[in-house]
Amino acid sequence: MKKIIFLILIASFTALSVQAAEIKLGYVDLQKIVTTSDQGKEAMQTLDSIEKAKNGLIREKINEIRKLEEELTKQGAILNPDTKQKKQAEHEKLMMEYQNMRKERDEELKKNESVFIQKIVLDVKKLLTKIAQEEGYTAILNEAVVIYMPEELNLTDRVMRQFNELSKKTKSE
């Protein structure tokens, strides 16, 4: 009886080790792919150009505010109270416009960045799914959730090359 239980345990452990040997894992640094892939670089350039355009408008508003502040400083003592009050109200209005412009710029950049990142991540996930299915991976993990895995399981550079090639093909079509 003891021999039968012993043989069953050995068979169970053997089955588990065979099953465990069939697991194929890999991981990618998704952040690196998002920021350094061709699509990621293009997205960053687009965001930079949007930011530069918005910053130009904000600088114009700052110049307007400074000009009005200089007027108030130079002429404040000689302006009649009504004119001075109007200039101060205009200054407050310009300051509110300036703050709103900055807030809108930041929100627009954040929204666009989110849209770009989501698109890239979605495209990378499709590629990773294809790779996993074609090559029999049990799981491909994001490096952000991996505490330790051998470097030979890192698929980041390979996936980035394939992703860049896929992006070029998609653009040319």
More confident residue, 7 or 72: 72
In a 13 Å sphere around the CA of 95, the CA atoms on its Cβ side amount to 9
Percent share of the chain, pLDDT over 90: 68
Percent share of the chain, pLDDT over 70: 87
H or E element: which one contains 78? none
- Asked if residue 3 has pLDDT above 70, the reply is no
- pLDDT bucket at 81, cuts 50 / 70 / 90: confident
* pLDDT tens by residue, 130-145: 999 999 999 999 999 9
Token pair recorded at residue 101:
């412009």
Question: Distance between alpha carbon 104 and the CA centroid of its chain, in Å?
Answer: 19
Tokens 């029999």 found at: 136
